[in-house]
Each structure stands twice: as structure tokens, then as C-alpha cells.
Amino acid sequence: MRHPAPTLVKRVSPTQTDVTWNDGHFSSYPSWYLRENCMCASCVEEFSGRRRIRHGDIPSTIERLSVAPVGNYALQFGWSDGHDTGIYTFEYLRKLCPCPECLPGGLKEPPEKVAGPGTFEA
Ligand SMILES: [Zn+2]
Ligand SMILES: [Zn+2]
């Protein structure tokens, strides 16, 4: 759709945010998934567009502390890892929708705990 916009943003739990869209579509986002897909300058390299965060870097237990509208085009989330610079435009948020219709393969949940920096795997 051309101008997706949420009609309802529901804080179901610290680890789940549900969005109902103006075309009736329904999306349910796990917190780790939104955090993993943050598009801010510290999560994505400016020139290459390469993500600094890989799947598994964000634990499944990460919590949403806040969600606030930005103008009339985006939402900004604050996460329990202290990160809060990510702005998710409605269009981007809608593209991320993990429902079976939008993402037939479904989501693969990351581990509850992830190795911190300085921990190396053989
Ligand atoms: Zn970010
Ligand atoms: Zn969907």
C-alpha cells in the first residue's frame, strides 16, 4: 500500500508490540526483531549500508522500554540495551511485518543470551 500508517500501536508486553494498520493489516513484532533491524547510523554503516548487527547479536529477551511517534511518519523505540536512536518509518515497519502472509518463512528466534564483545568462539 502507498501510505501505510498505524491506527493502533499496542504494547502487548515488553517483548511484543502489535500494530494495526490503516488498511486493516495486523502485525505483531517481537522486540528483538525490531531491535535487530534498527536502521540508525550506529547500526548501519552510512556508505555501504552494511548492517553492524547480525542475527543472534540481539538476545530474544531484549525489552521495549518506550515507543513514541515521530511526526506523522515514524515510531521511535527505546530498548533495554540502552539503544534508542532508531527511527522506524511506517513504510519500513510495514515492510518488516513478520506475519505469515508478509514473511512466509517466519522468524527464527535468537538465543536468550548472546556472547558479549570479547568472547570468541573457536
Ligand atoms: Zn540503531
Ligand atoms: Zn503482514
CATH of the domain at 33: 3.30.2020.30
8 Å CB contact between 8 and 2: no
**pLDDT one-digit tens code per residue, 44-98:** 998 999 999 999 999 999 999 999 999 999 999 999 999 999 999 999 999 999 9
- At 95 the pLDDT is 97
Specify if 21 maps to a domain.
Answer: yes
Give mean pLDDT, residues 6-17: 98
Residue 100 has pLDDT above 70, yes or no: yes
8 Å CB contact between 67 and 75: yes
- At 98 the pLDDT is 98
What cell numbers appear for 9 in the block?
A: 500501536
* Overall domain count for the chain: 1
Specify if 114 maps to a domain.
Answer: no
- At 40 the pLDDT is 95
Specify if 30 maps to a domain.
Answer: yes
- d(CA 25, ligand 1 centre) in Å: 26
Residues in the chain: 122
The partner residues of 8 in beta bridges, in order of sequence, read 20
Specify if 116 maps to a domain.
Answer: no
Specify if 122 maps to a domain.
Answer: no
- d(CA 40, ligand 1 centre) in Å: 4
Q: Which domain holds residue 60?
A: 6-95
Side by side, the strands of the sheet bearing 26-30 are 6-13, 16-21, 26-30
